[in-house]
Structure 1
């Protein structure tokens, strides 16, 4: 993950546990920007490249989502829960993420944290819950125009791709395959989504229109294909 095309964020356990490091795109020595015993996991850069969102697991006072500047100076504890997979809105005013709200077989829901007018963020009690379903909801990602969120839900028996409006309303199911469909990503113009489907066994990369039409298979091999990106 790159901020302003200058820094690459990555995870390394070279110091005994998973920590976040930055590496210049030109090379050189990596800089460690987290230094806690719990494991840290890279999440997403803010659109302006000024903040890196990451998740931390561990004790109650440490776990949740955190924000940090690339220089490693400013640190913000954004959420206080079993939270991961943060994704910034295009305008940098919101972060959508996944929270473990119950058992692992049906306790993942999507939440929203918003930045206030004074530049601070909502506290944990003010977070907006976008999904509330017995089945897991995961992998939220903003559309380029910031009006729609694509996500994965198991509410219909297996993993399918849905969209919803930024406030969680009007969920729309885009895929109807008997196999799992995962990892949605938007095209830069927002008119298409790429995703991973297990319709033919191993994961293959598919593409579809942003309302689920014209689904087509892009890769055809016996290996696992995953993590699409535009």
Structure 2
């Protein structure tokens, strides 16, 4: 009898464990909630627009650059995410990317929001993958990064975009023109200089590079840290998120500064002159610091700090730091509950 009771108890416990597992894990991994990675500043530096994820979907919010209560700007109506915002020079319009997925294939549509009309306009069809976009200083041209095709991921059956190049669009005619023929697997951090003469971007082509494209001569110049600079990465610099200062003389970028006790790379923000000289470390968070953005005047930077890098879902914070690294203040943001 004791044996039968023991067997019965084991069956009950197994059934309970199965029901618990089904109730807990049947919906799959919990989707991320929190700040997005790439906030942007208004032209006067007084406002930040950023993505905020809730259960894996991102809306766009605004908040004073000093922090405070955020305000919802754009909320997706379907299973989309709004990411990569970019202000127009006069602050009346906003570019952003509408991301979505169909049967394992990612898409992203280039959108433009008019603050005066409080309306969004699609600038490209839905069957493209556009990574990011920025305004030219005159506000009539935009530049964007678009993938020409897809390939299978090495780690899954999903498709990933490839063959990236830079395009421009005239907002008077809405006609686009391809201006590069890179066909790259990785291309990002697009930025137009304030004089409108060149675009800067980062790419991976066997190694990480920062380049400037002269829009008149079509000549490309690679900008890398001076030979004396020693990255904390074993195989050379892993340069990410380069950002150009307002005067065009300084580039801020993210790179490996050191490693944690378990060997995880720790990224900080550095600055260098436009020719790669005079490299200086700005931040000292001992975390993953990325996506620097210069405030007007060029003396301060907005940076994104991931407090949970290489440990699952990211946990981003926004900080304002001085270019010389002497000051830093977290930008505390309160997200409305509704």
TM band (smaller chain): 0.7 to 0.9
Maintained 8 Å contact 1:112/1:130? no
Kindly name which structure, 1 or 2, has the bigger radius of gyration based on alpha carbons.
2
Residue 89 in 1 paired to residue 136 in 2? yes
Residue 164 in 1 paired to residue 213 in 2? yes
Q: Map 1:1-230; keep pairs closer than 5 Å.
A: 1-3=40-42, 8-13=48-53, 17-22=57-62, 30-37=71-78, 38-58=80-100, 63-71=108-116, 73-80=118-125, 81-102=128-149, 103=151, 104=160, 106-116=162-172, 120-122=173-175, 126-155=176-205, 157-166=206-215, 169-175=218-224, 178-198=236-256, 200=258, 201-220=265-284, 222-230=286-294
Which is richer in helix?
Answer: 2
Maintained 8 Å contact 2:133/2:143? yes
Q: CA deviation at 1:108?
A: 2.6
- The separation in 2 between residues aligned to 1:22 and 1:162, in whole angstroms, is 31
Q: Secondary structure at the match of 1:189?
A: coil
Per the alignment, do residues 75 and 183 of structure 1 end up closer, same or farther by CA in structure 2, a change over 3 Å counting? same
Of 96-105 and 179-188, the range deviating more from structure 2: 96-105
Q: CA deviation at 1:128?
A: 2.3
Any stretches of 5+ residues in structure 2 without a counterpart? 1-39, 152-159, 226-230, 259-264, 295-338
Maintained 8 Å contact 1:196/1:206? yes
Q: Per-residue displacement from partner, 1:122-180 (whole Å, max 9, x unpaired)?
A: 2xxx332434234422211111211111111112x121111112368211111167231
Maintained 8 Å contact 2:93/2:115? yes
Which is richer in strand?
Answer: 2
- Which of the pair has the greater relative contact order for Cα pairs under 8 Å at 6+ separation? 2
Q: CA deviation at 1:222?
A: 3.4
Q: CA deviation at 1:33?
A: 3.1
Maintained 8 Å contact 1:206/1:216? yes
Per the alignment, do residues 167 and 57 of structure 1 end up closer, same or farther by CA in structure 2, a change over 3 Å counting? farther
Q: CA deviation at 1:8?
A: 4.4
Could you say what the CA RMSD is over the residues aligned between the two structures, in angstroms?
Answer: 3.2
Any stretches of 5+ residues in structure 1 without a counterpart? none
Maintained 8 Å contact 1:82/1:99? yes
Q: TM-score, normalised by structure 2?
A: 0.56
Q: TM-score, normalised by structure 1?
A: 0.79
Maintained 8 Å contact 2:49/2:85? no
Q: CA deviation at 1:14?
A: 5.3
